[in-house]
């Protein structure tokens, strides 16, 4: 029998890794979490230093850390998770809107390793649960194949479709390759728009070939390219070139995860893209589609003991 006089659990504490303060603030407001503080910096020799700078007590702790450019972030993240546990945290969860290394999901050549599995194992050793946004699930069907801790996947399709409905006249959704069919299809359904999926052959990091079918019947539409990750932007640049040569309007380019390596963003603009927009899983000037509310909704399912209190006292989403 439940003891009605049981003391309520203390509010969970949310801590931002550097660069993740905005999402941590938004989640704190949406879920009535306490905002914690940590120092994360580098020693002159390049090693990482972390220190929990606010009381944690026996609270549930959440770290917010998107993991683009992951090699510089993983070591301090794993140390911070350890420090939180040693400071007494009851549990440590990770909100990583962008999950890295998911594209190395098999050995493409002899001598390689499946990085997705190893990175998943390292992170799973240090946290109790994970929330992310549209991880690149292609040859890996489900996150549980690489993450041994409970995870929740937030889907951006509804928010992307909402943006398209509000900003694009007569959209034609285009997925640049077979892998993108899942995202482009879901967005098209929510946006009540037609969609086509192209085929792509990747020969190297920056060498891709995209085949485009006859699009004559869609000439009056606005092409909207949707992909989960834009990294070198070669996939989108190739596609934009084909569409422009076929006489279509400048395509709107939508990325869930705006990685944009080196000069990729400018390259895509120069290649003839129309508006370039992204979700805010990685901070970038192209961010137009906020996902904090969707992430908060997913987090509620992992913080059940706090959900009732959120309903009573926190601002509504």
Q: Contact positions toward ligand R5P, by CB under 6 A?
A: 103, 177, 179-180, 208, 227-235
Q: Are 89 and 52 spatial neighbours (Cβ–Cβ below 8 Å)?
A: no
138 to 95, 107, 146, 239, 260: CA distances (angstroms)? 21, 14, 13, 20, 20
CB of 257 to ligand R5P, least distance (A): 9
Cα–Cα distance, 17 to 239 (Å, whole number): 36
Interatomic CA distance for residues 239 and 99, integer angstroms: 25
Place of tokens 């892998």: 179
Task: Please give the Cα distance from 213 to 227 (Å, whole number).
Answer: 18
CA angle 129, 132, 137 (to 5 degrees): 110
Shortest distance in whole angstroms from residue 227 CB to ligand R5P: 5
Q: How far is the CB of 72 from ligand R5P (least distance, A)?
A: 20
Residue 214 phi/psi, 5-degree rounding, is -70, 120
Q: How far is the CB of 168 from ligand R5P (least distance, A)?
A: 21
Residue with tokens 């303060």: 21
- 45 burial via Cβ count (<10 Å: 0-12, 13-18, 19+): exposed
Contacts (Cβ under 8 Å, ≥6 apart) of 76: 17, 40, 48, 50
Q: Return the number of the residue (33 or 252) whose C-beta is nearest ligand R5P.
A: 252
Closest approach of Cβ 57 to ligand R5P, in Å? Answer: 42
Smallest distance from ligand R5P to CB 141, Å: 15
Contact criterion met (CB below 8 Å) for 42 and 48:
yes
Which residue lies nearer to ligand R5P by CB, 230 or 254? 230
Q: How far is CA 227 from CA 127, 151, 181, in A?
A: 29, 22, 9
Distance CA 287, CA 285 (A): 6
Rounded to the nearest whole angstrom, what is the least distance from the CB of residue 267 to ligand R5P in the complex? 10
Distance in Å, CB of 97 to ligand R5P, minimum: 16
Taking alpha carbons only, the member of 100, 103, 108 closest to residue 65 is: 100
Nearer to ligand R5P, 248 or 256 (CB): 256
Q: How far is CA 135 from the centre of its chain?
A: 7
Q: Cα separation of 235 and 200, whole Å?
A: 8
């Amino acid at each position: 029998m439940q003891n009605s006089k049981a003391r309520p659990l203390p509010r969970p504490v949310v801590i931002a890794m550097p660069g993740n303060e905005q999402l941590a603030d938004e989640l704190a407001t949406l879920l009535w979490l306490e905002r914690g503080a940590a120092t994360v910096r580098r020693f002159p020799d390049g090693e990482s230093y972390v220190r929990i700078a606010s009381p944690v007590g026996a609270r549930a702790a959440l770290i917010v850390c998107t993991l683009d450019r992951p090699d510089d972030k993983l070591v301090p993240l794993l140390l911070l998770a350890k420090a939180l546990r040693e400071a007494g945290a009851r549990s440590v969860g990770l909100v990583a809107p962008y999950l890295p290394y998911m594209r190395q999901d098999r050995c493409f050549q002899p001598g390689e390793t499946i990085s997705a599995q190893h990175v998943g194992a390292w992170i799973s050793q240090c946290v109790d649960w994970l929330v992310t946004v549209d991880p690149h699930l292609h040859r890996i069907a489900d996150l549980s194949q690489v993450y041994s801790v409970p995870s929740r996947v937030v889907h951006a399709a509804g928010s992307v479709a909402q943006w398209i409905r509000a900003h694009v006249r007569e959209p034609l959704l285009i997925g640049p390759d077979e892998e993108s069919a899942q995202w482009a299809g879901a967005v098209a359904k929510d946006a009540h728009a037609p969609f086509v999926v192209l085929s792509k052959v990747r020969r190297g990091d920056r060498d891709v070939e995209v085949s485009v079918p006859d699009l004559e019947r869609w000439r009056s539409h606005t092409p909207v390219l949707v992909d989960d990750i834009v990294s070198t932007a070669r996939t989108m640049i190739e596609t934009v070139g084909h569409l422009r040569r076929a006489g279509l309007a400048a395509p709107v380019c939508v990325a869930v995860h705006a990685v944009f390596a080196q000069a990729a963003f400018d390259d895509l603009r120069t290649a003839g893209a129309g508006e370039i927009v992204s979700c805010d899983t990685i901070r970038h000037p192209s961010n137009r589609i906020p996902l904090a509310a969707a992430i908060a909704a997913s987090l509620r399912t992992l913080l059940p003991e706090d959900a009732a209190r959120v309903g009573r006292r926190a601002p509504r989403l």
